[in-house]
Amino acid sequence: MVSKRMNKVNNIWGNQAVFITIEGIDGSGKTTQVQKLYERFLAAGKPCIMTREPGGTPVGDAIRALLLSPEMDMNSYTEMFLYAASRAEHVKQIILPALEKGINVICDRFVDASIAYQGYGLQPEGMTPELVRMVNETAVAGVFPDLTIIIDVEVSVAEQRIGQRFAQLQQNIDRIERRGSAFYERVRQGLKALYELEPERYLWVDGTRSSEELTERIWQAVTQL
Ligand code: ADP
């Protein structure tokens, strides 16, 4: 993917804001790193927002409610288009306006998540990773990340962490997170395949390292953009 937003490589030391996305299976530590990266930007005196789909847009929130509702048993194509629709709204209303104002953006999951979850994880008949990519690249209308961080952990590690979190919060897990370890293994392998296709676009990190180490490595990559 090549950013259509600008012709040059963006970096945080110029006037141009950067767009960073963080990917990984549930429980890999994305949310933790989004928060820590956000704090690094602010500590460096760089304006920044952190966001995740649906990003607080009314249309996005309505789509999200549909997607996470256990009684909505929808087919995988519907789900794929709904995620892409939510993303289109998020880009137009939140991400692009911030970048245009020179505000750096960190997004918890983006196009790669759909390709990995829907294209590699669900694998419904006829749905290929290429199709999911095409639909989503259309939805984001040329707004591609300057850097995508993939946090890799084994499914068993993620499951253990998610179990702890949900036990702590005493919440029900949502429809996506009830899909089981074979599904997550395909998602993890999907992220790996995406990385192997375009390694220059990604930073691949081992999510079993301490959060502090991970933040340090991620910040190093961001400042070298
Ligand atoms: P995600 O957003 O990918 O689902 P979270 O950031 O919410 O992941 O982290 C899931 C759980 O794992 C949380 O309980 C968090 O405290 C813990 N965690 C996050 N990063 C690490 C890490 N590097 N090492 C160990 N545990 C971690």
The CATH number of residue 161's host domain is 3.40.50.300
Considering only CA atoms, give the Rg of the chain.
17
- Please compute the mean of the pLDDT values over residues 172-189 and round it to a whole number: 74
**Is 41 inside any structural domain?**
yes
> Is residue 97 situated within a structural domain?
yes
pLDDT at 165 over 80: no
Total domains present in the chain: 1
Q: Assign 56 a pLDDT band (cuts: 50, 70, 90).
A: confident
> Domain limits at 139?
19-222
Asked whether residue 38 is assigned to any structural domain, the reply reads yes
Residue at 14 is within a domain: no
Give the up-direction half-sphere exposure of residue 180: CA atoms within 13 A in the CB hemisphere: 3
pLDDT in tens, 21-45: 999 999 999 999 999 999 999 999 9
Predicted pLDDT of residue 176: 53
Ligand 1, from 31, 32, 34, 206: best to mutate by most atoms within 8 Å of Cβ? Answer: 32
pLDDT, average across residues 175-201? 87
Least confident of 51-55, 113-117, 120-124, 200-204: 120-124
0.75 surpassed by pTM:
yes
d(CA 33, ligand 1 centre) in Å = 8
Asked whether the bond before 47 is cis by omega within 30 degrees of 0, the reply is no
In a domain, 157, yes or no: yes
Residue 13 lies in a domain: no
User: Is the minimum distance from the CB of 16 to ligand 1 under 6 angstroms?
Assistant: no
Ligand 1: distance of its center to the CA of 41 in Å? 20
Residue 130 counted as domain residue: yes
Residues in Cβ contact with 31 at an 8 Å cutoff, skipping those fewer than 6 apart: 108
Chain mean pLDDT for the chain: 88
| Res 96 pLDDT > 60 | yes
Please check whether residue 69 lies inside any domain of the structure: yes
The residue with greater pLDDT, 74 or 30, is: 30
